[in-house]
A and B are shown apart, each in its own frame.
Chain A
Amino acid sequence: MPKHNIAKKSTDTDMTPFVDIAFLILSFFIMATKFKPAEAVPITTPNSVSSQKLPENDAVMISIDKDDKVYFSIMAQKDPQLARDIIKAAAQARNIPVTDAQVAGYFPGDMIGVPFNKLGAFLALSADQKKTYVQEGVPVKDSANNELYYWIAASRSVFAGQPLKYLIKGDNVSKYPAFKAIIDALKKNDEQKYNLVTMPEGAPSGTELWVERNTSKK
């Protein structure tokens, strides 16, 4: 029997380039990741072709969740005291004052979705308790008792003179009347300019905007 001498090739491959790429991707993701702060209420916003960045300071955000509940949050990462002043001013305006100790539990970006008569108790909860507490939403539906009006009025007085942006963040499936109630509350305060929070998407090809964006870049 003649021996077939099959050359024994090593099964070892050089993994170095593969590993290099893997770590390159890893470093890319580490750099590119921006962690979302844990949201008490998940809201999926619609998409839009707009490309303006969301401001993180000097803004108040009004959110609508999927059950049409309205939440109010103050975006003032630079100066948490500003946010606490707004809460105190708003509660004061409704004659249901909150104490400094209660307000100290609020951090910018937290969503408030309780009527004023439950505000003090809500703020006093610990961070863990707040996560599990089911908020009923700021009352807005009844135009005579649109509590959002007081929140906006308080923000305006605290931010007096400084630019303040109004962000409206609605859930995809929320209904239009909730949005309209928010607009009404803002209009009552003589505020006509708002920013709607959306997720970015590209302009559909073939449309006028698409044509414009693709020609101006050249």
Chain B
Amino acid sequence: MASLDTGDGGGHKKGPGVKKAKKLSTRVDMTPMVDLGFLLITFFIFTSTMSSPTTMDLNMPKDTDKKEEETKVKMSGALTIMVGRDNNIFYYEGELTNENASQAFKSSTIKDIRDIIIKKKKEVESRYVTDAACEAKAQADGKDPKDCRQKDFFVLIKPTEEANYKNVIDLLDEMTINKVARYALLEPFDTEKELISVSQGAAPAAAARRNKNLMLVVWNFPTPASYN
């Protein structure tokens, strides 16, 4: 059966000298190809980086020593968020004084802070009295006049020396997520440092250092319209 036709086979129907065309199956064994295909799929799945990195804008103001160039913040609309070590977040609303420190100074987590930001923002917006000048200006600049509603709302982000970079970025990202128009990045005051270290269970020695480099920094986040 599976032998070469030598050509002298007697009794062949087609006669001598006519070679018999051997019928080969047209089926090819695909298994090795499929194996290789899946090998490559696995390889590409494991090596591929689906999402390419993105960047977020960050605009810092110039440092200034002049009092009149500093940004004024209304205490009623201020929310101070401090970042401690081990993802600890602390916050207080308005002003921190010796009397109210025990109640006002609260601890939170990066997950819960969003609700606090939203709550505070809503509260500030509810106190908004129509400011025609601000709305006209927003209109002229091509911004949403609704942003005027939160013109008194100001978030102060104060990372301590032990703060994680991730937490700081997460907080900045919260500003975008919750559309906080005004926020700043600054150094915590000595009193705040002390409260943080007490809350974290460490000796309040670090807070004794002089807070000489107090910078007031305002981050003007781009308005959502400038996103491409």
- Hey, which bits of chain A sit against chain B, CB under 8 A? 15, 19, 22-23, 25-26, 29-30, 32-36, 45-55, 64, 167-179, 183, 186-187, 190, 192-200, 203-204, 207-210, 212
Contact = CB atoms under 8 A, between A and B. Distances in A.
A21 to B, nearest CB: 10
A195 B179 contact: no
Interface string B7-35: 00000000000000000000000100110
19 contacts: A22-B41, A25-B41, A26-B41, A34-B49, A46-B170, A48-B54, A48-B169, A48-B172, A48-B176, A49-B177, A50-B173, A172-B164, A173-B164, A175-B162, A175-B163, A196-B56, A197-B54, A208-B177, A212-B179
B191 interface: no
B60 A64 contact: no
A179 B41 contact: no
A32 B177 contact: no
Contact of A198 (B53, B164, B228): B53
Contacts of A192: 59-62
Given A26-B37, A176-B164, A212-B224, A50 B51 contact: no
B148 interface: no
B209 interface: no
A46 B166 contact: yes
Tell me if B's interface is mostly helix, strand, loop or mixed: mixed
A198 B58 contact: no
Pick from B48, B54, B63, B227 the residue with the most CB of A within 10 Å.
B54
Pick from B52, B165, B224, B227 the residue with the most CB of A within 10 Å.
B165
B114 interface: yes
A168 B165 CA distance: 11
Given A35-B47, A50-B54, A176-B161, A196 B169 contact: yes
B129 interface: no
Contact of B164 (A48, A175, A193): A175
A170 B58 CA distance: 14
Nearest to B83: A176
Interface string B48-87: 1111111111111111000000000000000000010000
Given A46-B170, A208-B178, A199 B162 contact: no
Given A22-B34, A23-B37, A33-B47, A187 B60 contact: yes
A50 B53 contact: no
Contact of A51 (B60, B168, B227): B227
B160 A183 contact: no
Contact of B52 (A30, A54, A173): A54
Contacts of B169: 46, 48, 170, 196, 198
B56 A198 contact: yes
Contacts of A34: 48-49, 52
Contacts of A208: 177-179
Pick from B159, B169, B179 the residue with the most CB of A within 10 Å.
B169
A29 B44 contact: yes
A211 B121 CA distance: 16
B51 A207 contact: no
A93 B173 CA distance: 37
A168 to B, nearest CB: 8
Interface in B134-167: 159-166
Given A29-B48, A35-B47, A175 B161 contact: yes
Contacts of A169: 53
Contact of B228 (A32, A33, A52): A52
A36 B49 CA distance: 7
Contacts of B50: 32
Contacts of B45: 29
Given A46-B170, A204-B177, A209-B179, A179 B58 contact: no
B161 A197 contact: no
B56 A52 contact: yes
Contacts of A178: 165
A108 B172 CA distance: 30
A174 B56 contact: no
A31 to B, nearest CB: 10
Nearest to A29: B44
